Amino acid sequence: MPYINRPYRSRPWYLERISRYSDPPEDSPPQTNFVVNLAPFPSHFTPDGRAVFPLSKRKDSIRINKMEIRPNTIIYATGYTQEFPYFDQKSGYPIPKDADLRNVAKTGDESIAFIGYVRPGVGKLFMAPSLRMFQINFPMLGAIPPLAEMQAFFWISLLKKQVKLPLSPPHYHLLTPENARIQYGVDHSTYMSTLAKDIKAAPGLVQLWSSYGTKVLVCYW
């Protein structure tokens, strides 16, 4: 993240005063005097190997269009499907969409868990005037590894009968159109908080304040 944010880190002094992230020395110039550039998907490549990117008002698009990019290697990240051919489907093994217990396990078949099979993010909802049409955007906010760790804690607690059932209603799913490819998006913070409450790992506000102070308490709110 330091290398992605570096070109865009320009904020007023008062924002730096109340919220500042300092990169560790090993991730700071001159040790790492470079950046990782983000860009929209290229429209095409010229015969001499130059990538052509569509221009928009996005910061990454404006920045990348000022550069001449001739990649040595191109990796196509084409995605994946959630299929498990090594499971005998005739035996009724569940799949991720069947996991009604916090998207981790299926009720009545808790011995199989799906860890890391949700897409964390923060959804942006755009409503049309009729309030019937909407479009969802999934920016890259949230990380799967800490989410998977909390899911593992939840699953272990579930197997040890330490999770109170039935669970509280889920309020962490991101809204998606019916034809969207990804139907398993969750709000990162809300999902993590819900799992923590399920396994009784969420700190109380008084405990949080006494242990870490007012700043952490306000951020937690």
Residue 123, pLDDT score = 47
Residue 142, pLDDT score = 65
What whole-number distance in Å separates Cα of residue 119 and Cα of residue 96? 12
Cα-based distances in Å from 92 to 96, 105, 159, 164, 184? 13, 14, 20, 26, 21
152-159: long-range contacts (C-beta < 8 A, 24 or more apart)?
152/113, 152/115, 153/195, 153/199, 153/201, 154/102, 154/104, 154/195, 154/198, 154/199, 155/104, 155/105, 155/110, 155/113, 155/115, 157/198, 157/199, 158/101, 158/104, 158/105, 158/110, 159/110, 159/111
Which of 79, 77, 31, 35 minimizes the C-alpha distance to 60?
35
Name the stretches of the chain with pLDDT < 70. Answer: 20-21, 89, 122-142
Residue 163, pLDDT score = 96
| Residue 12 token pair | 């007023």
User: Hey, which bits of 87-210 come out as E strands?
Assistant: 119-121, 124-127, 134-137, 185-187
Query: What pTM was estimated for this model as a whole?
Result: 0.64
Residue 129, pLDDT score = 42
| Residues 32/3, Cβ–Cβ less than 8 Å | yes
Q: Which residues of 72-96 are buried (b: 16+ CB within 10 A; e: fewer)?
A: eeeeeeeeeeeeeeeeeeeeeebeb
Q: How far is CA 110 from the centre of its chain?
A: 25
